Amino acid sequence: MLHGSETWPVRKENEVALQRAEMRMVRWMCGVKLQDRIPIKELRGRLGLDDIISVLQRNRLRWYGHVLRKEDNDWVKKCMAYEVEGTRPRGKPKKTWREIVEKDCKARGLNSEDPMDRSRWRKQIGMIDDHDECEWVNVSSGTGSPGLSRTKSTEP
């Protein structure tokens, strides 16, 4: 549902439509009807899901950090600073992706220097949680075929 969302200049009505679709899917996965009146936060808790808007914001910030860490002569980084020539249409102009990312950074108290330290940036935007502290270990299932299992890392 969020494939490629890193580069979407999302408007408020798009966010509302995504939230509505997410709520329908979460209720369907939990086997709950709207008439049951169970709060969506409780249903997300059952499934271990985050709010779709915060996931969308994390995706944007993750891509923003990736682009800022690129070399200055990289075409992707050049595109981020590109300004289209000409006049903008009358009325309130649409927000650009850059404006939305800057709003996301301001909301989280981030600045343009933070992405240069990748591990710290991932922590700041919420990409690292308990799952990232696990490591994969090779185990045998007893059937002769090797498998993978996640174990909690004991490193400080």
At 43-53, the pLDDT tens digits run 999 999 999 99
Residue with more model confidence, 84 or 145: 84
In this prediction, residue 13 carries a pLDDT of: 93
Q: Residue 21: pLDDT above 90?
A: yes
**pTM of structure:** 0.72
Using the 8-state DSSP alphabet, how is residue 113 labeled?
T
Q: Is pLDDT at 41 greater than 80 in this prediction?
A: yes
The pLDDT-based confidence of 149 (bands split at 50, 70, 90) is very low
Give the pLDDT band of residue 142 (cuts 50, 70, 90).
low
* CA 96/CA 11 separation, integer angstroms: 10
pLDDT tens string 65-111: 999 999 989 998 888 878 888 887 888 888 888 889 999 999 888 88
In the structure, what pLDDT confidence band is assigned to residue 23 with cuts at 50, 70 and 90? very high
Q: How many CA atoms lie within 13 A of 48 on its CB side?
A: 3
Q: 3-state secondary structure string, 51-111?
A: CHHHHHHHHHHHHHHHHHHCCCCCHHHHHHHCCCCCCCCCCCCCCCHHHHHHHHHHHHCCC
pLDDT exceeds cutoff 60 at 138: no
pLDDT band at residue 145, thresholds of 50, 70 and 90?
Answer: very low
3-state class (DSSP) for residue 137:
strand
Q: What is the arithmetic mean of pLDDT over 109-116?
A: 86
The overall average pLDDT reported for the chain is 82
